[in-house]
């Protein structure tokens, strides 16, 4: 770890210095950073093109990696959104006075030094930086080699801005892209307070299995939508199409349509909007029979058991026919990843049962799972979507990047 320890120690020192930086100064830095990003689009896009040149356009990572003027504008807006949010730091979670006169206050504080390990998603660089700085955390950004040029370009834009705004060196550090930096980060006990992996299930498993520092998992999204016996066909078709095709490379995209067996006759209409997008369907026997002759044959195949529980991140969708709501719930429990799940139904009782029973970070009724996103949830941006239950769950915004401490004021009390 020795060659990387300087990065970690600088981040630790910066985390202490950030405690004295006024929230208004952080907000100003984020706004200036948004301006700087929009002032250098040609440079950032040219560096991004170097990364894209190493991937075929058909690779699912290509879309996650690709930056455009529109996406840069979105990143800048997210920076401004985060700046506009109230700071959670110092907010009192509870206050009380004990019988002995001690006054206790429980307040939000930064986690300290946050390491973020991510793959081909350069937008994560600025999302993480903004959320960490807003919460007084120093961040160690460990992007993947696929996005090395893009991430370096973004930090080249950010670094001078942060220094001009008086933020301490080491407040936001891009680690080298090689794997050894990841290994060192996971072992940096005493220097790094928490590591957040954001990427494939393989990356998340590797971090969980090898880290000696605490980890907040942002798990893979194996996402289901259950079309109930009472589901509205027009709503369902729009929801399924949006959840599947809006952006297939993200973790909230739909992977498996669960269809109530009494609605098989409606299946062709339900999935019809998917055909123009070129979505390949892997349907179980009843669904395949219902779709034969009604969906392009080149895009229709019989499902195997391996298709269920798969996060496709591509224009692919599994279809499973289920007997009823209980069977749908059983399938989700067996194959889901506790990320996002949805029901399309007009039965209030079925909706309530689904919302109550499904164990996932975000559970929807009559809406697309594409909304599982920090910005969409009003968090400004997100550092990831946690699928675990301790500390944070779902899109992680400002509050999820804080801990708390007890402030105790006395007048000389001693304990007997």
Domain ranges, ordered by start, for the chain? 2-218+396-409, 224-371
- Per-residue pLDDT at 281: 98
Rounded to an integer, the average pLDDT of 172-196 is 96
* CA angle in degrees (0–180, nearest 5) for 32-380-77: 45
pTM: 0.84
CA atoms within 13 A on the CB side of 276: 5
**How far is Cα 75 from Cα 310, in angstroms, rounded to an integer?**
30
pLDDT surpassing 90 at residue 184: yes
- Read off φ and ψ for residue 138, nearest 5 degrees: -80, 145
Rounded to an integer, the average pLDDT of 195-207 is 88
Share the mean pLDDT of the chain: 95
**How far is Cα 37 from Cα 309, in angstroms, rounded to an integer?**
39
Class (C level, CATH) for 224-371: alpha beta
pLDDT tens, residue by residue, 44-82: 999 999 999 999 988 878 988 999 999 999 999 999 999
- For residue 291, give the nearest of 254, 318, 266, 308 by alpha carbon: 266
pLDDT surpassing 90 at residue 384: no
Identify the sign of the CA torsion 144, 149, 150, 152: positive
pLDDT tens, residue by residue, 220-277: 789 999 999 999 999 999 999 999 999 898 889 999 999 999 999 999 999 999 999 9
- Per-residue pLDDT at 1: 52
CATH superfamily entry for domain 2-218+396-409: Aldehyde Dehydrogenase; Chain A, domain 1 (3.40.605.10)
Of 307-321, 349-363, 369-383, the least confident: 369-383
Q: What's the pLDDT band for 201 if we cut at 50, 70, 90?
A: confident
Which three-class secondary structure state does DSSP give residue 335? helix
C-alpha dist (Å) from residue 76 to 37, 49, 55, 121, 130: 7, 19, 26, 15, 10
* Residue 243: CB atoms within 10 Å: 26
pLDDT tens, residue by residue, 348-374: 999 999 999 999 999 999 999 999 988
Contact (CB, 8 A) for 342 and 221: no
List strand residue ranges (DSSP E) for 271-389, in order: 280-283, 300-302, 316-322, 340-344, 362-365, 385-386
Residues 6 or more apart whose CB falls under 8 angstroms from that of 24 comprise none
Rounded to an integer, the average pLDDT of 176-188 is 95
Rounded to an integer, the average pLDDT of 286-290 is 98
- Per-residue pLDDT at 64: 87
């Amino acid at each position: 770890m020795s060659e990387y320890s300087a990065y970690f120690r600088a981040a630790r020192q910066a985390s202490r210095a950030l405690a004295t930086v006024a929230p208004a100064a952080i907000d100003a830095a984020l706004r200036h950073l948004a301006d700087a990003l929009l002032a250098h689009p040609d440079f950032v896009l040219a560096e991004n093109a170097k990364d894209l040149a190493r991937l075929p356009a058909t690779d699912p990572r290509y879309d996650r990696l690709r930056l455009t003027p529109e996406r840069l504008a979105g990143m800048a807006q997210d920076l401004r959104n985060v700046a506009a949010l109230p700071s959670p730091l110092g907010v009192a979670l509870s206050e009380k006075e004990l019988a002995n006169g001690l006054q206790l206050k429980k307040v939000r504080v930064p986690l300290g030094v946050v390491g973020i390990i991510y793959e081909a998603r350069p937008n994560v660089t600025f999302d993480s930086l903004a959320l960490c700085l807003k919460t007084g955390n120093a961040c160690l950004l460990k992007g993947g080699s696929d996005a090395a040029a893009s991430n370096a370009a973004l930090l080249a834009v950010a670094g001078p801005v942060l220094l001009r705004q008086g933020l301490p060196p080491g407040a936001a550090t891009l680690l080298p892209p090689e794997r050894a930096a990841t290994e060192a980060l996971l072992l940096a006990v005493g220097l790094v307070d928490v590591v957040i992996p954001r990427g494939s299930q393989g990356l998340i498993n590797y971090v969980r299995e090898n880290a000696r520092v605490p980890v907040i998992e942002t798990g893979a999204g194996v996402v289901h939508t259950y079309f109930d016996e009472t589901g509205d066909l027009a709503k369902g078709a729009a929801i399924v199409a949006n959840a599947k095709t809006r952006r297939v490379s993200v973790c909230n995209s739909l992977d498996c349509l669960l269809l109530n067996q009494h609605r098989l006759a409606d299946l062709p209409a339900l999935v019809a909007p998917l055909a123009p997008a070129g979505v390949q369907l892997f349907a179980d026997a009843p669904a395949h029979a219902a779709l034969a002759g009604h969906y392009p044959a080149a895009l229709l195949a019989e499902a195997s058991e391996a298709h269920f529980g798969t996060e496709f991140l591509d224009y692919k969708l599994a279809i499973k026919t289920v007997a009823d709501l209980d069977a749908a719930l059983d399938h989700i429990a067996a194959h889901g990843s506790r990320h996002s799940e949805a029901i399309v139904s007009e039965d209030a009782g079925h909706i309530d049962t689904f919302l109550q029973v499904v164990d996932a970070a975000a559970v929807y009724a009559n809406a697309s799972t594409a909304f599982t996103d920090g910005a969409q949830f009003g968090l400004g941006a997100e550092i990831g979507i946690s699928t675990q239950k301790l500390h944070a769950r779902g899109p992680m915004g400002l509050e999820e990047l804080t801990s708390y401490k007890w402030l105790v004021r006395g007048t000389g009390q001693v304990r007997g």
